[in-house]
Amino acid sequence: MTALARPTNGRMIGGVCAALARRFGISATTMRVIFLVSCLLPGPQFLLYIALWILLPSEDKARTAW
């Protein structure tokens, strides 16, 4: 199992959707569509995205930590 980290390549804004897509084995585009559709529902989607952006390390920083 790989560590959850925001990739340095293929990110659109913060790399959160790309990191989650890699973790769950789906394409980043699919994860981005899922996120956008979920924003139509009530809930803290944007806050969760910002929290993951802050909490998930960048891939280059995660490599140096291991």
Judge residue 16's burial from the number of C-beta atoms within 10 Å of its C-beta, 0-12 exposed, 13-18 middle, 19 or more buried: buried
- The closest alpha carbon to 15, from 65, 45, 66, 50, belongs to 50
pLDDT, averaged across the chain: 87
Tell me: the pLDDT tens digits for 1-26? 557 889 888 788 889 999 999 999 99
Identify the pLDDT of residue 9: 84
**Of 42 and 2, more confident:** 42
Instruction: With cut-offs at 50, 70 and 90, classify the pLDDT of residue 33.
Output: very high
